[in-house]
Structure 1
Amino acid sequence: MILRSYTMLFAALILMTGSAIAADIKPPIKHYIYFNHREPDGENIRSDKALTDPRFSGAQIVYTWRSLEPEQDRYDFSAIRHDLRYLNAIGKKLWIQLQEKSFTPRHNVPSYLLSDPRYQGGILKQSMLSAPERDPHKPVTDDEYGWSAKMWEAPVRERYQRLIRALGKEFDGKIEGINFSESSIEIGVEDSKGNTIFPDDFKPQQYVDALKDNMQVLAAAFPHTTTMVYLNFLPGEWLPWTDKGYMRSLFAQAQTLQMGVGGPDLMPYRKSHMGQSYGFIKDYPANLVKGMAVQDGNLRQINPRTGKKNSVEDMLDFARNYLGLDYIFWVEDEPYFSNEVLKQLPGH
């Protein structure tokens, strides 16, 4: 009887230990090729040799609001259908990045937003001067200006949400994931005391509320596809010194909606990012999805821990052991992609 009790206790301990170990074992990171633009016929996607590499699960492709709604209430999803058919044919998955912001002089919104007065101009100019992917060798006079949709204006947001619902109706469950563009927008000017002065028609809280509203619509439109919000910086808040609760509330909203979270720049231990979103991503529940992109310039940055340029090993170690990522989206930024990523990225 005593022997039987010890045997049962030992078996129970083995089961408990096994369960604990299983809980700690996270599936391997899924790697995707990130396409920050799509040629009109998708030639750059079909001709991309890296997509056939078994280490990559698929493609994250940017589709602009302008291209998906060329005229009011007329949607053109032919590019998505075309890419989805091709990727399915080669055994790969499609991840959509829905892009309403731009980081070049050209805007990414439908033209009717600019001409109809109900949309209050539709867009607001932003600057690329402080963006980490900006080429540091370019003179300041060649600054690229981008544009942000005025999502805080209810009529603009309503039009965007119609697009989201239309995409969900056709592609929910057929694609691997979908994410918004990053939360950061570069607007406003600093006064002599370092305070940011925003345009009269912009309030940071309204922008945060608009993001939350869009997140709800995205989660509802894609119940069978992974949805993700990119959170990196927010106007009017600079953590930890100026904490308005904006970033915290957006992560809380994402968790309530069971959404994935991530960001556009994977740069290990970069001070500005560590203070803003990285800590929130690290602490985000492990049972929910987390993903980040290695975008232009990320592999050029200096790792504060090593004092050397970021390596693929640095990226993977930070992704796995600090952030706990499920997805990494790799841009083909040369020469780093061919010389480092393709040579050093391990197989599953």
Structure 2
Amino acid sequence: MNPIQIFFVTLVLLLGSTAFATEQPAKNYIYFPYREANGSNIKADKALADPRFAGAQIVYTWRSLEPVKDQYDFSAIRQDLAYLSSMDKKLWIQLQEKSFQPNVKNVPDYLLHDPIYNGGVLKQSMLSAPERDPDKPESDDEYGWSAKMWEKPVRDRFQKLIAALGKELDGRIEGINFSESSIEIGVEQPDGTTLFPKDFDPKVYVDSINSNMQALSRAFRKSTPMVYLNFLPGEWLPWQDKGYMRSLFDEARKLKMGVGGPDLMPYRKSHMAQTYGFFKAYPNTLVKGMAVQDGNLRQINPSTGKKNTVADIIEFSRNYLGLDYIFWVEDEPYFTDEVLKQLPH
């Protein structure tokens, strides 16, 4: 067997599950990556009334939910929950602590100013990303910011927010997930290794995700807690296997929590050994969900050699990944021209 085949066999043995297609089709949700004032974009969204969509997955930032230390503001969630309930729709929360824009930080201001949090955030970098334009000056290398979850004071504050959310919303929402595990950080060296900032350690980062998973699982016993796992720094499977991704999937299995991720692109080479193999091996008795995000329907399906179609995504999600939820972003013109026309009733 080649290394990838061996890798997948090992996954099945370690996670103790054989993948089968789900008996029921996945529930479809509309994914809202941002929320306008008073939820105006959600209220104006006509597709939400479509019976094929069970509800909305809405991004709420840590910054918006805790504008002042220990003063939580869940009013936006309450408003959206009431509106969706009036339509007999469900709310799924994405709790966002990362940003993907250079001028946006999704954490409260107090994290940035109190020295106990060691800066609160770390700038993500595209220097090591394969899609980066090599001719672009390094001074223009701007991406976004990640909360320093590996700093215990930062993580403690985040977990306090999680507990507060669970106290008010557990059982009232369909589910809740963190933002993706991937973090663009460090500079790739000629020997293939990555040079990370002095205050960053990949193993400590993985441990911080594990800790947050446990906090989310404790806070949400009725609604579905979900961790988004796609890529991890310092590991590129199957060649660089530090056991990071395997350990997080194993922890999720022990906690009986949902797993998910962004970018649902059938048979994409970079994802097959990284996350899709783990999803395939994850027990089908536990919840799995993934998001179809911007650009996913533009990509080529390696199994057909043609652009991804809605049918491709549904087939892959059902028969390979065994998903329970699909979160669809309204990426135009694909959403109107393809998703709304081709999504089964």
Q: Same fold by TM (over 0.5)?
A: yes
For 1:154 and 1:27, the matched residues in 2 are separated by: 41
Q: Secondary structure at the match of 1:291?
A: strand
AA of the residue aligned to 1:61: I
Cα shift at 1:104: 1.1
For 1:226 and 1:342, the matched residues in 2 are separated by: 27
For 2:200 and 2:128, the matched residues in 1 are separated by: 20
Structure 1: which 5+ residue stretches go unaligned? 1-22
Check if 1:61 corresponds to 2:58: yes
AA of the residue aligned to 1:35: F
Residue 264 (structure 2) aligned to one of 256, 263, 266: 266
For 2:151 and 2:141, the matched residues in 1 are separated by: 27
Identity of aligned residues (%): 73
Question: Match of 1:119?
Answer: 117
Question: Match of 1:284?
Answer: 282
Q: Deviations over 1:226-281 (max 9, x none)?
A: 11000000000000000000000000000000000011110101111101011000
Does the aligned pair in 2 maintain the 1:127–1:186 contact within 8 Å?
yes
For 1:144 and 1:94, the matched residues in 2 are separated by: 33
Q: Deviations over 1:57-78 (max 9, x none)?
A: 0000000000000011110000
Q: Secondary structure at the match of 1:228?
A: strand
Residue 172 (structure 2) aligned to one of 155, 169, 174: 174
Question: Match of 1:186?
Answer: 184
AA of the residue aligned to 2:120: G
Give the aligned length. Answer: 322
Structure 2: which 5+ residue stretches go unaligned? 1-19
For 2:128 and 2:91, the matched residues in 1 are separated by: 31
Check if 1:91 corresponds to 2:88: yes
Superposition RMSD on alpha carbons, in Å?
1.8
AA of the residue aligned to 1:57: A
AA of the residue aligned to 1:319: S
Question: Match of 1:216?
Answer: 214
For 1:46 and 1:25, the matched residues in 2 are separated by: 32
AA of the residue aligned to 1:91: D
For 1:48 and 1:287, the matched residues in 2 are separated by: 33
1:133-282 equivalence runs, <5 A: 140=136, 144-282=142-280
Question: Match of 2:97?
Answer: 100
Question: CA distance change for structure 1 residues 314 and 36 in 2, over 3 Å: closer, same or farther?
Answer: same
Question: Match of 1:72?
Answer: 69
Does the aligned pair in 2 maintain the 1:128–1:146 contact within 8 Å?
no
Q: Secondary structure at the match of 1:328?
A: strand
Question: CA distance change for structure 1 residues 52 and 129 in 2, over 3 Å: closer, same or farther?
Answer: farther
For 1:195 and 1:80, the matched residues in 2 are separated by: 42
Q: Which has the higher contact order (CA 8 A, sep 6+)?
A: 2
Cα shift at 1:25: 6.2
For 2:128 and 2:54, the matched residues in 1 are separated by: 32
Cα shift at 1:208: 0.6
For 2:142 and 2:306, the matched residues in 1 are separated by: 28
Alignment TM-score, normalising by the size of structure 1: 0.89
Q: Deviations over 1:308-342 (max 9, x none)?
A: 11110110010001000000000000000000000
AA of the residue aligned to 1:107: K
Question: CA distance change for structure 1 residues 203 and 241 in 2, over 3 Å: closer, same or farther?
Answer: same
Question: CA distance change for structure 1 residues 128 and 296 in 2, over 3 Å: closer, same or farther?
Answer: farther
Question: Match of 2:14?
Answer: none
Alignment TM-score, normalising by the size of structure 2: 0.90
Check if 1:308 corresponds to 2:306: yes
Does the aligned pair in 2 maintain the 1:103–1:144 contact within 8 Å?
no
Residue 338 (structure 2) aligned to one of 337, 340, 344: 340
Does the aligned pair in 2 maintain the 1:60–1:95 contact within 8 Å?
yes
Question: Match of 1:12?
Answer: none
